[in-house]
């Protein structure tokens, strides 16, 4: 479906830019906490790397407890793990979405906190979620003097 391919294109841009950012970081950079009381760079990158799979599970009805277990089981600790997870979780999302019929894409599902969207709308939410946190990451790194040297949009 053309609309899904358009969303995939934007998710690809986000993932590619995040991999490029990772290529500019070292393991010590993951421990940086540029904003007091907020996540570390590594925690934010780990979250970003899991969004495609985690948000898919949420959109398909995973419980809060199931998601807590997912995040615990899939913790990421290195730049290489983060890069690998960004790509494999994106690919997992794409495989799942390419199987959906138009009717299935329009089917409304509800998250454990009560948000209800069609699967197509959930995909748009996932894209927005990635761009939101990518912007946070860019700001965090800029605050530490490590402004990423990448195009943010292509």
Q: What is the pLDDT along the chain (154 residues), one digit of tens a residue?
A: 778 999 999 999 999 999 999 999 999 999 999 988 999 999 999 999 999 999 999 999 999 999 999 999 999 999 999 999 999 999 999 999 999 999 999 999 999 999 999 999 999 999 999 999 999 999 999 999 988 887 766 6
Of 124, 149, 140, the closest CA to residue 7 belongs to: 124
Give the position of tokens 């494999």.
88
100 torsion bin: left (phi>0), alpha (psi -120 to 50), beta (else): beta
Distance CA 42, CA 95 (A): 27
Assess contact for 84 and 48: CB atoms under 8 A.
Answer: no
Of 87, 86, 8, the closest CA to residue 49 belongs to: 86
pTM: 0.93
């Amino acid at each position: 479906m053309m609309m899904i391919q358009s969303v995939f294109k934007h998710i690809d841009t986000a993932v590619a830019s995040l991999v490029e950012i990772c290529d500019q970081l070292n393991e010590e950079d993951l421990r940086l906490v540029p904003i007091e009381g907020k996540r570390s760079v590594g925690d934010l990158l780990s979250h970003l790397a899991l969004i495609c799979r985690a948000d898919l599970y949420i959109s398909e009805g995973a419980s809060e407890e199931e998601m807590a277990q997912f995040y615990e089981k899939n913790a990421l600790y290195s730049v290489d793990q983060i890069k690998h997870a960004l790509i494999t979780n994106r690919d997992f999302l794409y495989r799942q979405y390419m199987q959906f019929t138009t009717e299935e894409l329009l089917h409304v599902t509800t998250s454990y906190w009560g948000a209800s969207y069609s699967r197509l709308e959930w995909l748009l939410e996932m894209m927005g979620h990635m761009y939101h946190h990518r912007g946070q990451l860019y700001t965090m790194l800029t605050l530490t003097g490590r402004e990423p040297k990448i195009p943010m949009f292509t």
